[in-house]
Amino acid sequence: VCSCSRERIERVLLSLGRDELASLMNEQGGAEVTCELCRERYSFSREELQRIVDEMMSGEAC
């Protein structure tokens, strides 16, 4: 049984860092992540990625 979740994928995106997330926003307009175990797809819009960056910058992200 896979334990992936949207929150877990957000933490993975956080680990990419601000510059990589900015690149995803600017070049692709968002991100799509597929879990390697269960093949579940998680899509993140430009706005959602911006929220993740904002949380990272404010220190609110775990």
Residue 32 CB: number of other CB atoms within 10 A?
10
Residue 37 has pLDDT above 90, yes or no: yes
**What is the value of pTM for the model shown?**
0.80
What is the number of domains present in the chain?
A: 1
Is 1 part of a structural domain of the chain?
A: no
**Residue 26 corresponds to which tokens in the numbers above?**
């600017």
Is 48 part of a structural domain of the chain?
A: yes
In angstroms, the CA 7 to CA 3 distance is 11
Band (pLDDT 50/70/90 cuts) for residue 56 is confident
In angstroms, the CA 50 to CA 47 distance is 5
> Domain range spanning residue 40?
6-58
State the CATH number of the domain containing residue 13.
Answer: 3.90.1280.10
Is 24 part of a structural domain of the chain?
A: yes
The pLDDT score that the predictor gives to residue 10 is: 94
The predicted-structure confidence for 12-35, as pLDDT tens digits, reads as follows 999 999 999 999 999 999 999 999
Is 37 part of a structural domain of the chain?
A: yes
Give every CB contact of residue 13 below 8 A, 6+ residues apart in sequence. Answer: 21, 31, 33, 44, 49, 52
